[in-house]
Amino acid sequence: MSALLRLSDVVHSYGDDRVLSGVDLTVGRGDFVGVVGPSGSGKTTLLKILLGTIRPIGGVVDRAPDVRIGYVPQLETVDWNFPVTVAECVLMARRGRGLPWPTRAERRDVARVLDRLGIGHLAHRHIRALSGGQQQRMFLARALLGEPDLLLMDEPTTGVDFTSRHEVLHLLGDLNADGTTILLTTHDLNGVAAHLPKLVALNGTVIAAGSPVEVISGPVLERTFGAPMEVLQHLGLPVVLDPGPHLAVARGHRAG
């Protein structure tokens, strides 16, 4: 198949609580896609289905043969007091998980990927001593150690400052230009979503998919977030006016 992943009419529920219904989504090689939607819209569940950690109760998930997938979790879900250094944390993701000690080649691979992401000098620093942007780069290093075809990221700019957010987006753009397919979820319509080449608006099902100008529009956002949102155009990019209050809108209390 030419696509890395393809979802057709995917459905998922937690008990009686329907989270996803009739989801159609194709992730092509080289794509850089952002999935936007309110809390409870099914974004995290969608990531888990793409990752293969949960199976939908309906529909079809097609994966390209031997596709390698890397995953970067939300920083807020990590125990930063766990006593490991940056290099040790990245080494935990190595493919030879059954080996008690890393090989010299694996240590070289870790050093190479840390240098690629600009944090080689932090290899021996404790993970809790990192800034938000450095923490995100460390988990990117973990995901990239396996040389993935597809990188899945859950809210990669949550908890980072403006400068770190810009750095993360620039880094992801470089990785995508080098051939890594990227799909991320985000609540940040202006800071992240407006700068991505392709967006998917999700709230239980796919509301719209296309460029930021097509997806970040008043009608689409109202259907997605359940509240009116005003959108202006600035320097060719859509800008949502005061989006904060609307991002808390969710359908019930469904999981991610």
**pLDDT tens per residue, range 135-156:** 889 999 999 988 999 999 999 8
Would you say residue 164 lies in a domain?
yes
Query: In the structure, what pLDDT confidence band is assigned to residue 203 with cuts at 50, 70 and 90?
Result: very high
pLDDT at 165: 83
- Number of domains, the chain: 2
Give pTM, 2 decimals: 0.87
Average pLDDT over all residues of the chain: 88
| 119 and 207, same domain (yes or no) | no
Q: What is the CA radius of gyration of the chain?
A: 18
Closest CA to 17 of 247, 246, 204, 249: 204
DSSP 229: -
pLDDT at 92: 86
- The whole-number average pLDDT for the span 54-59 is 96
User: The CATH number of the domain where 157 resides is what?
Assistant: 3.40.50.300
CA–centroid distance for 211 within its chain: 17
| 7 and 53, same domain (yes or no) | yes
Closest CA to 82 of 24, 33, 138, 137: 138
- The whole-number average pLDDT for the span 171-186 is 93
pLDDT at 102: 81
Which residues does residue 58 pair with via DSSP β-bridges, in sequence order? 11
pLDDT at 77: 72
Q: Is the pLDDT of residue 251 over 50?
A: no
Which segment of 86-95, 209-218, 222-231 scores lowest on mean pLDDT?
86-95
Residue 137 CA to residue 175 CA, distance in Å, equals 12
Q: Is the pLDDT of residue 18 over 70?
A: yes
Written as one letter, the residue type at 13 is: S
Please give the residue range of the domain that contains residue 138. Answer: 77-146
pLDDT at 255: 46
Closest CA to 158 of 128, 174, 136: 136
Closest CA to 86 of 45, 51, 38, 135: 135
- The whole-number average pLDDT for the span 153-167 is 83
Last residue of one domain, picked from the residues 124, 146, 168:
146
Residue 49 CA to residue 171 CA, distance in Å, equals 26
Residue 168 CA to residue 158 CA, distance in Å, equals 11
